[in-house]
Amino acid sequence: MNKPDRPLPDLLALVGHTAGGKTTLAAYLAQRLNGEVISADSRQVYRGMDIGTGKDLADYQIGEVSVKYHLINVTDAGEKYSLFDFKRDFHQAYNDIRQRGRVPILCGGTGLYTEAILKGYSLAEAPVDAEFRKSLEDRSDLELVELLESLAPLHNQSDTTNRDRLIRAIEVAGSNRENPGEVYQPINSMVFCLTYEAEIRRQRITERLTERLKNGMIEEVQNLLRKVKAEDLIYYGLEYKYLTQYCIGEISYDQMFNSLNTAIHQFAKRQMTWFRGMERRGIPITWIPGELSLEEKVEFVISRLEIGA
């Protein structure tokens, strides 16, 4: 590790849209800075959901060095993993890394997870309430959205596009209002975001989708369907929604590919909208030009951290 001219921030965060190369860059930065990576991805926590979530675990092996990572493969596919769960597990990993004198690097594309850490959101555990859920059965989706907005700021727009997610979000918001959770202070951090021109972003996304379909993503979903209900996989969205529909015969291959490709492009745009919004909400972000080579990106970050030779 190079000796810093000034103390490193307590947390280095690397964000960006899907297919942007965050994992590779985070791993190389961890190698240079004596760090470990904490994943901020809402789906990489699930075992067996590997290709579709882009875990890219091989990226953590750099020559003879195995970069340590956290919050990947921590629960089974089919289970629900909440923002509360993430914050609890993040702070456990973060404290462990810091106590061992290493540098925590938060890396992922789930903007809500990252912002919750950087701003120290207070959240309480929200158990499933069957009676409360039953009371919502007759309400329309629009009425549920209005209820959610009355309880808490709408941090995640995707909560409004799926009824199960919507009801769970209401449940969590209501629980947090009645029982505020443990208060965490904002962490002294420095945030970097990979950014590409729109056409390059679209090209990267389509190329990666094509590669993953060739490399076993369909078989991954078929294997998951032997253990997880179709509706539970569809709940996870994107790859698992459209591939499940294809595997159970609801749509053709071409329909699956075209719909999924479009959905990922739209998702990437929403991710970048979130990160730009984070900056407007008071979180400074250093933008990394995507056209730089991997080596140049590493040096770009190192120079901004003022690491001397």
26's tokens: 């985070």
Same domain? 40 vs 116: yes
The single-letter DSSP state of residue 135 is H
Tens digit of each residue's pLDDT (9 = 90 or more) over 238-251: 999 999 999 999 99
Give the residue-averaged pLDDT of 6-14: 89
Same domain? 18 vs 87: yes
- 283 phi, psi to nearest 5 deg: -105, 110
Task: Bin 136: left if φ > 0, else alpha if -120 < ψ < 50, else beta.
Answer: alpha
Does some domain include residue 220?
no
Give residue 178's pLDDT band: very low, low, confident or very high (50, 70, 90): low
Per 3-state DSSP, the chain is made up of helix, strand and coil in percentages (nearest 5) of 50, 15, 35
The single-letter DSSP state of residue 102 is -
**pLDDT above 90 covers what percent of the chain?**
71
Domain that holds residue 170: 124-180
Residue 10 CA to residue 99 CA, distance in Å, equals 11
The pLDDT, as a whole number, for residue 3 is 44
Pairing of β 75-76 and β 46-47: parallel
Same domain? 110 vs 63: yes
Same domain? 136 vs 58: no
Same domain? 82 vs 190: yes
Cα dihedral 53, 58, 62, 68 sign: positive
Give the residue-averaged pLDDT of 74-86: 91
Same domain? 17 vs 79: yes
Stretch (H or E) spanning 35 = strand 35-39
Does some domain include residue 240?
no
- Its pTM stands at 0.83
Tens digit of each residue's pLDDT (9 = 90 or more) over 184-233: 778 999 999 999 999 999 999 999 999 999 999 999 999 999 999 999 99
Torsion of CA 6, 12, 15, 19, to 10 degrees: 100
Residue 183 CA to residue 123 CA, distance in Å, equals 8
